Structure 1
Amino acid sequence: MRYTSIIQQWKKPTISLPLFNLVLSIWVGIGLNIAFYKQLTSLTPYQGYPAILFLIGSSVLITAAYFFIFNLIHWRSNVKIFAGIWIVIGGMSAYFVNNLGIIINADQIQNMMQTNTTEAFDLINIRLIVWVVFFILVPLYFIYWVNIKKSTFSHTLCRKMLYSAISLVLVFGCAYLYYVDYAAIFRENRELKGMISPQNVVAASFSYYKHLQPPKNTTIHPYGRDAHQFIQTATHQTPKLMVLVIGETARAESFQLNGYDRATNPELRKLNIINFRNVSSCGTATAVSVPCLFSGMTRQAYTEKVARQRENLLDIIQRAGYKVTWINNNSGCKEVCNRVERYEIPESIRKQWCDSKGECKDEILIDSLNAYIQAIPKNDKTPRLIVLHQMGSHGPAYYKRSTHQYTPFQPTCNTSAIQGCSQQALINTYDNSIVYTDHILASTINLLNKQTQFQSALWYLSDHGESTGEHGMYLHGAPYQIAPSQQTHVPMIMWFSTAWRKHQASTVRCIESQKNDVLSQDNVFHTMLSLLNIHTTTLQPTLDLSQQCKPQLQNRA
């Protein structure tokens, strides 16, 4: 009986609340934040023992800070509930920070809120499962396993006050010793706080709900109400058809057209396109870049709140008399297409290009565009803008972003656990997705070139780029101030049919002359209006590529 009692005590240990909080603080403060400490240490000039002491001091500061917080909010009645929450959100946050170099901020919370189930499942891999087992399930079992010792309220309160005071002494002591270092580091690297789990999720979620959460029953304010076509299409003149392709996660440095030493653009190179080599995105995530792209605001002036509460480029073009249609093969249009036609892709086309989970190859866009154009009556003279939203190179499952015919680079990384693949296999897989995008764009151009009902044009640019292990970073969504060029330098091309070039020869020549200039997504809103012959006071000539060759603008400069 005595032996059984000992075994039972060993299976269910009883510890005090302060000790439980201390163990939790060490696990959360140190165990989940290895990447943060590595980055923090790399930003100091210390070497040898001073570097070790700085690392120890920083670890003590973070752990003591968590211990102070836990002492305040944890009581015997709620400690296991709160501890479970910290373990889950901290463990998941730490996976993305430590394994993919992702910094958790409000934009990342926004990305998570707008991610569909298909994209979420792409993140599940063996590494994530192993991580969840050891960094979430095992700690959760420990929380369930132990008993918290009972104590009187007065005794508990006295111990809380004592340990809270000790925690504050350690926090302020370490902060005082390394104040100059912390001030210099965090002043220039504010994003570091997004690497500390789980506070990064808590702070980012609060920021999201305060600044980025979609408001309910939002009143949409008119924008560009004076928009009209200043060159009316005559009955004998061919109407315009502009196809705007919004790419996904394609970076300019992986395009052969921009000097990349691999054959990632075998089809586009044979076509009469205009390739722009120096274009930057408005954001590093779709949830920012796409609304910003259509908002009429520059990157520096862009605010989510304003973009959500007023009309955008599509509304203005539609008001001017164009038929505007959005054809989607992504997780949605981020609300920019709410007031225009959203094309319902025929089931016969879906069956050809979509898998059982509803994830579709981008060739579905070509067939859908063809079906859409074929359904336009021959006597219809309505000018049109069609937006194609690609799946593109969306990660981490890059191997799903191309068909077998368009995978020239081998071996490939056939998993979403990309950090476990060799760098070469990962690059091969990503580059194959660019080859497939090249095929999609070339096929779309060839389709437009065959039809005679419209004078047609294609404009392609990616929403943002992608990191594939450079600087220890994967995927995208890094704060713009520190984002590497792989996430902000995006490809952009234009193509104009013979008929379009004939009617706007000088405009096309002017735009082509700027193909090597430093440009950005700020130029899209204003240049698109000009290309479609739409006049509105919202158009800023200085951001309109088609007007940069006009003498009056040159004289003003």
Structure 2
Amino acid sequence: MHYMDFKFKIVNTIFSSMSKASIQSVILFLTFWNVLAYNIPFVVSVYNIVGHQSLSAVLLLSFTIFSLCILNMLFLTLISIKPLFKVLVVMQFLISTILLYSNATGKQYNPFAFDFYEWLEGLGRFFTFHFLLMLVFLVCLPSFTLLKIQIKWGSLKNNIIRWVGYSSISILILWCCFYLFETRWSPVYHESRSSLRNIVPFHFLDSSLKFIKQQYLNPIYDFTIIDSSPTIPSSKRNTTVVLVVAESVRADMFLSHTINPLIQSINTQGITIEACNTYHTSSLQCIFSFLSTESYSDSKGKHQQNLLDIMSLAGVNIYWLANENQCGDLCIKASIERVPFDCQKKDCSDEELVNMRYHRVLSELSPSEPNLIILHLKNISSPLYSKSYPKSVGSNHPTCDTALVSQCTDTQLINSYKNSLNYVTQLLIDINSYLEEFQNKYPTVETALVFTSNHGESLGEGGLYFHGAPKNIAPKEQLMVPLLLSDSRLNSDCISKSANGFTHDQIVHTLLHKFNIATKAYKANADIYTTCEQH
């Protein structure tokens, strides 16, 4: 009994001491609470990347934690409006807890689903003992504490000065931190992109703003039907094509470093083309769009038929195979089979994707039907290229084996990147080998292998690294990518002789030609086969 009385007195003392507090003290307390309660997974992910064995790593980790504190302070200051503050903070507790649990367990769902039963089923996945425990300690208890506190706001004038002053100082500090640590943080950002969702709740806020912009603020376009009835002649349906799309493969290094062993092992032709953009999502959408690289925009691209839509209508069987990057908006309208991956590991390699998934799909295809297999390889992981390939292909030394590329020389970084290209080369040889087996088994089938990358990569040229620069100022290393085409129907070197200003535009029309699809979308002057025949 005495113990319970003592415990009650302690709790009562804590709440009594916190019963009144200035808004500045409350914001400071909530700042530390948000970082410690909801953002530890992100801090851990950064720690796993940079380690702690060097002064640079310790400084970068400290910078990350400090920036999270300032970011939270800015957020809390912006919502510190007297009538709404407590309500908004409690909502933030709830959203942050849901995101924390969702990221930790992978139990995510679309809250905007129109089907009530689908929404209810997704919501039901959260009702576990673990989640309820998190609700108690991360939502209920801090909310109860906050509601018990009587906040001393001060005068309206002081509140306005505080709001403007704290916001301005926070933004200034964040800008200074970014300016001082940009070169050190940039490679860590690229390496930890998949962990950015752990920045709670800012990734949610950023995604929400993007959703609102996409749904309500973008220009409204009428959906354009390019062709509602594309066809393939019944006598020309026995075509199977494999399209391989990689990321971060720049043309100059890949073609000079890789093309010779590829030419020796498979009948292929390689050229340099211009990519649509310098970052993944936009370029991938553009590769399958009928808009030109000059006129393409994500909004326009989503409001008209793409290559997959036309092929699906024409009766082509489409298979999308990817390790982690699914087709998203590209596949909304088309009938596309997303083949499940048998790999049970957390991080499956592209080699396993090829040997387990692609080989199985190829062996089960109907040779008398038109088939398109799209292999979307995992990106060459910048900046830690050494994670992108097995040691067996690492013929270039020394390499850069840390995300802190400032500790590496450009030579080490380039060697790691070249080893990644070795791995891509080996994958393409394996992909083609399986396709040749299929061709030998069904000699009457028309086959082709197409390879490209959705953007290139900077490796120190002009002081730039990685990719993602705005297209209008992007260097050629980020825009010029390889295009390989292996098809026995093509005369040797005809592509290189006829290529003049080729871009990603050529891919869609070349594939339409290969599948013998009669459609209004087809442009002969952008078709590599037609261009070759004219030379």
- TM-score (normalised: structure 2): 0.61
Q: Distance in 2 between matches of 1:430 and 1:333?
A: 26
Q: 1:530 to 1:399 in 2, by over 3 A?
A: same
Q: Distance in 1 between matches of 2:214 and 2:422?
A: 35
For 2:447, the equivalent position in structure 1 comes to: 456
Q: Distance in 1 between matches of 2:454 and 2:381?
A: 11
The question of 1:340 aligning with 2:335 is answered yes
Question: In the alignment, which of 58, 66, 69 is matched to residue 140 of structure 1?
Answer: 69
Question: In the alignment, which of 116, 126, 131 is matched to residue 60 of structure 2?
Answer: 131
For 2:431, the equivalent position in structure 1 comes to: 444
CA deviation after TM superposition for structure 1 residue 448, in Å: 1.6
CA deviation after TM superposition for structure 1 residue 462, in Å: 0.4
For 2:527, the equivalent position in structure 1 comes to: 544
Q: 1:359 to 1:150 in 2, by over 3 A?
A: same
Question: In the alignment, which of 399, 417, 436 is matched to residue 404 of structure 2?
Answer: 417
RMSD of the alignment, in Å? 4.5
Q: Distance in 2 between matches of 1:139 and 1:371?
A: 46
Question: In the alignment, which of 340, 347, 362 is matched to residue 373 of structure 1?
Answer: 362
- Unaligned stretches of 5+ residues in structure 2: 1-21, 37-41, 74-150, 170-202
Question: In the alignment, which of 456, 459, 481 is matched to residue 465 of structure 1?
Answer: 456
Question: In the alignment, which of 502, 518, 525 is matched to residue 535 of structure 1?
Answer: 518
Question: In the alignment, which of 369, 374, 389 is matched to residue 402 of structure 1?
Answer: 389
The question of 1:514 aligning with 2:501 is answered no
Q: 1:419 to 1:159 in 2, by over 3 A?
A: closer
Q: Distance in 1 between matches of 2:437 and 2:261?
A: 17
Question: In the alignment, which of 294, 298, 315 is matched to residue 300 of structure 1?
Answer: 294
CA deviation after TM superposition for structure 1 residue 381, in Å: 0.7
For 1:282, the equivalent position in structure 2 comes to: 276
Q: Distance in 2 between matches of 1:294 and 1:139?
A: 39
The question of whether the paired residues in 2 share the 8 Å contact of 1:419 and 1:469 is answered with no
After TM superposition, the structure 1 = structure 2 runs for residues 122-271 of structure 1, keeping only pairs within 5 Å, are 124-126=49-51, 130-134=59-63, 136-137=65-66, 140=69, 153=155, 156=158, 208-209=210-211, 211-212=213-214, 222-229=225-232, 231-233=233-235, 239-255=238-254, 257=255, 259=256, 263-265=257-259, 267-271=261-265
The question of whether the paired residues in 2 share the 8 Å contact of 1:282 and 1:288 is answered with yes
Question: SS at the partner of 2:427?
Answer: helix
Question: SS at the partner of 1:233?
Answer: helix
Question: SS at the partner of 1:534?
Answer: coil
CA deviation after TM superposition for structure 1 residue 518, in Å: 2.1
Question: SS at the partner of 2:433?
Answer: helix
Q: Distance in 2 between matches of 1:476 and 1:123?
A: 23
Q: 1:160 to 1:426 in 2, by over 3 A?
A: closer
Q: 1:121 to 1:249 in 2, by over 3 A?
A: farther
Question: In the alignment, which of 464, 467, 486 is matched to residue 476 of structure 1?
Answer: 467
Q: 1:459 to 1:86 in 2, by over 3 A?
A: same
Question: SS at the partner of 2:485?
Answer: strand
Q: Distance in 2 between matches of 1:158 and 1:392?
A: 47
Question: In the alignment, which of 311, 319, 329 is matched to residue 317 of structure 1?
Answer: 311
CA deviation after TM superposition for structure 1 residue 78, in Å: 7.9
- Unaligned stretches of 5+ residues in structure 1: 1-16, 18-74, 89-116, 168-200
Q: Distance in 2 between matches of 1:374 and 1:202?
A: 42
The question of whether the paired residues in 1 share the 8 Å contact of 2:271 and 2:495 is answered with no
Q: Distance in 2 between matches of 1:442 and 1:240?
A: 20
Question: SS at the partner of 1:373?
Answer: helix
Q: 1:219 to 1:404 in 2, by over 3 A?
A: farther
Write out per-residue CA displacement over residues 359-405 of structure 1, whole angstroms, 9 at most, x where no aligned residue: 3233422442221122235xx51111111111142323311211121
The one-letter code of the counterpart of 1:340 is S
The one-letter code of the counterpart of 1:226 is S
Q: 1:206 to 1:543 in 2, by over 3 A?
A: farther
Q: Distance in 1 between matches of 2:300 and 2:416?
A: 38
The question of whether the paired residues in 2 share the 8 Å contact of 1:366 and 1:440 is answered with no
Q: 1:155 to 1:442 in 2, by over 3 A?
A: closer
The one-letter code of the counterpart of 1:358 is D
Q: Distance in 2 between matches of 1:309 and 1:162?
A: 41
The question of whether the paired residues in 1 share the 8 Å contact of 2:251 and 2:480 is answered with yes
The question of 1:487 aligning with 2:478 is answered yes
The question of whether the paired residues in 1 share the 8 Å contact of 2:270 and 2:484 is answered with yes
The one-letter code of the counterpart of 2:241 is M
Question: SS at the partner of 1:426?
Answer: helix
For 1:112, the equivalent position in structure 2 comes to: none
